[in-house]
């Protein structure tokens, strides 16, 4: 009769040790692949938004939505709703899909950069509320020059682009990862002192200077292109018509590496 042979305890321990070693080698790679997949999916979302905005402006005599006025009905998520069919999946970066307020109106205890803004109900919003984790550059919008001839809430509307048909469109931001549905960055805006403090304060650049993609954000531009933008590069883009390229947070403006908050000092200078 043949004698059945089982694994010894030592053999089992060796197999377990090998599996554990392989897992320790593979897990960082798997995590990196997942992050890369989310980044690619985020850029695909922004590319699709570029298509929607292109279609909207073509049907609107070459102009963007008003943005302000009439409650929230003139904001991008309302104006473009017939195009994206109220699909909230495309409203969110895959790294930030959970809104700060759930469907029952319960707010998360602590805000962080992986929260989506919203959920908002009321005039101009979807019946189930609106939420998302992208923000539009408010300076591209087209507020009524008769109603808002100069300044609205501290922002000079004469500097708005209003149309994608502008010189240097590849450097004018349209839409990006954001903690607010619209932002009006100024060259004097300072970065958040802590990476998770971006919700605090009223400086709009903080709401998009968020480290969701390894020291960068994803961004669409007025030429409908989409690319990675390093966080310190944000201050060098042409946000509005009169935006200076040599502001205090640029190399031209004299910023020093030690001027940046600790969490940003390792990132590339611009």
The C-alpha atoms of residue 3 and residue 207 are separated, in whole angstroms, by 70
pLDDT band at 30 (very low <50, low <70, confident <90, very high): low
- 14 has a pLDDT exceeding 80: no
- Domain residues for the domain of 129 are 9-264
In a domain, 207, yes or no: yes
pLDDT one-digit tens code per residue, 41-51: 999 999 999 99
- Confidence band, pLDDT 50/70/90 cuts, at residue 29: low
Write out pLDDT tens, residues 50-101: 999 999 999 999 999 998 877 778 899 999 999 999 998 999 999 999 999 9
Q: What is the mean pLDDT of the chain?
A: 90
Would 269 be classed as within a structural domain?
no
Whole-prediction pTM value? Answer: 0.86
Give the model's confidence band at 37: pLDDT under 50 very low, under 70 low, under 90 confident, else very high: confident
State how far the Cα of 80 lies from the Cα of 7, in Å rounded to an integer.
64
CB 261 within 8 A of CB 191: yes
Residue 100, domain member (yes or no)? yes
Q: How many domains does the chain have?
A: 1
User: Cβ neighbours of residue 234 under 8 Å, at least 6 residues apart?
Assistant: 185, 205, 208, 209, 217
Beta-ladder partners of 216: 230
139 within a domain of the structure (yes/no): yes
Structural domain contains residue 199: yes
How far apart CA 134 and CA 202 sit, in angstroms, is 17
Name the token pair of 79.
């104006």
Whether residue 270 lies inside any domain: the answer is no
């Amino acid at each position: 009769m043949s004698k059945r042979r089982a694994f010894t305890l030592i053999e089992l321990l060796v197999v377990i040790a090998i599996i554990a070693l392989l897992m320790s080698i593979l897990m960082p790679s798997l995590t990196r692949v997942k992050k890369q997949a989310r980044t690619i999916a985020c850029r695909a979302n922004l590319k699709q938004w570029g298509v929607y905005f292109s279609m909207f402006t073509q049907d609107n005599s070459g102009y963007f939505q008003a943005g302000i006025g009439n409650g929230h009905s003139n904001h991008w998520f309302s104006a473009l709703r017939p195009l994206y069919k109220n699909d909230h999946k495309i409203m969110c970066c895959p790294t930030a899909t959970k809104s700060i307020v759930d469907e029952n109106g319960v707010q998360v205890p602590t805000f962080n950069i992986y929260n989506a803004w919203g959920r908002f109900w009321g005039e101009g919003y979807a019946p189930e509320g609106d939420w998302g984790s992208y923000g539009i550059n408010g300076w591209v919008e087209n507020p009524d020059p008769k109603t808002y001839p100069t300044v609205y809430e501290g922002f000079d509307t004469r500097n708005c682009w209003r149309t994608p048909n502008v010189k240097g469109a590849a450097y004018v931001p349209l839409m990006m990862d954001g903690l607010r549905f619209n932002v009006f960055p100024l060259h004097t805006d300072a970065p958040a002192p802590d990476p998770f403090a971006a919700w605090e304060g009223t400086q709009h650049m903080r709401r998009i200077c968020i480290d969701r993609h390894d020291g960068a954000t994803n961004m669409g531009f007025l030429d409908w292109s989409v690319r990675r933008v390093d966080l310190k590069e944000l201050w060098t883009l042409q946000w509005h018509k009169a935006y200076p390229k040599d502001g205090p947070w640029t190399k031209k403006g004299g910023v020093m590496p030690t001027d940046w908050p600790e969490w940003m000092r390792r990132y590339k200078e611009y």
